[in-house]
Amino acid sequence: MLKYALLGFLNYQAMTGYDLERLISQSTTHFWHATLTQVYTVLKRLENEGLITSQIEPQEGRPDRRVYEITAVGEEDLLGWLRRPQTEVDAMKAPFILRAFFMGLIDRDTALTHLQLMLQVHQFQHHTFRRETPAAIEAAVSTFALERRELEAHVFFWDATRKLGEKYEEMYIAWLEETIAALKKQNS
């Protein structure tokens, strides 16, 4: 699946694994993330499958850059994926909620501390989405050579997905606050 994140970005512009990881961590990380290691291994696989090609750009004083470019086959694959309708809900894996589900097992004060810590973490995350992500996306993406018409359509969806991250954090924070309040009130 990381496959399509990589093809998607390479479709805008040729770049290295290092560049791709940075882009991902600045733009899609709240709904799709990847480590550098994984980016490098998947890129290699995609090249073997003929969806991308690479060229080495020699550098001095640091490792040569391996710049990847999407092929016609890769572009078709990407478009096919985007056109295919999806009928299933995305399956979630949220370790903290799993913990919360079983928190009746531990004492109330420890549970409260866990919830309050998570509240802080999500407040920070929310701040990031509001204040930093928009600028980060704009900066990262300003180098892409897109026509004005195309750009408009892309910006619409980049911004829409960023907004979802923001709304998600707001919902999560509200839930944590309510749950903390309710837990404090709970019996003796």
Residue 46: burial class (beta carbons within 10 Å; 0-12, 13-18, 19+) = buried
Assess 73 for contact with a copy of itself (CB under 8 A): no
Assess 2 for contact with DNA (CB under 7 A): yes
Residue 64, phi then psi, degrees to nearest 5? -60, 145
Instruction: For the CB of residue 177, give the shortest distance to DNA in the complex, in Å.
Output: 29
Residue 20: burial class (beta carbons within 10 Å; 0-12, 13-18, 19+) = buried
Shorter beta-carbon distance to a copy of itself: residue 13 or 66:
13
Window 29-48: residues binding a copy of itself (CB under 8 A): 30-33
Shorter beta-carbon distance to DNA: residue 94 or 145:
94
Among 47, 69, 96, 112, which residue interacts with a copy of itself (rule: CB under 8 A)?
96
Shorter beta-carbon distance to DNA: residue 36 or 119:
36
Among 49, 132, 138, 150, which residue interacts with a copy of itself (rule: CB under 8 A)?
150
Assess 14 for contact with DNA (CB under 7 A): no
Shorter beta-carbon distance to a copy of itself: residue 65 or 103:
103
DSSP of 122-182: HHHHHHIIIIIHHHHHHHHHTTS---HHHHHHHHHHHHHHHHHHHHHHHHHHHHHHHHHHH
Assess 64 for contact with DNA (CB under 7 A): yes
Which residues 6+ apart lie within 8 Å of 137 measured at CB? Answer: 26, 27, 158, 162
The three-state secondary structure class of 53 is: strand
Assess contact for 120 and 180: CB atoms under 8 A.
no
Assess 84 for contact with DNA (CB under 7 A): no
Among 13, 14, 29, 44, which residue interacts with DNA (rule: CB under 7 A)?
44
CA–CA distance, 53 with 90 (Å, rounded to integer): 31
- Token pair listed for 147: 């026509």
Among 48, 61, 88, 145, which residue interacts with a copy of itself (rule: CB under 8 A)?
88
Assess 30 for contact with DNA (CB under 7 A): no
> What residues line the site for DNA (CB under 7 A)?
1-3, 16-19, 22, 33-38, 40-45, 59, 61-67, 91, 93
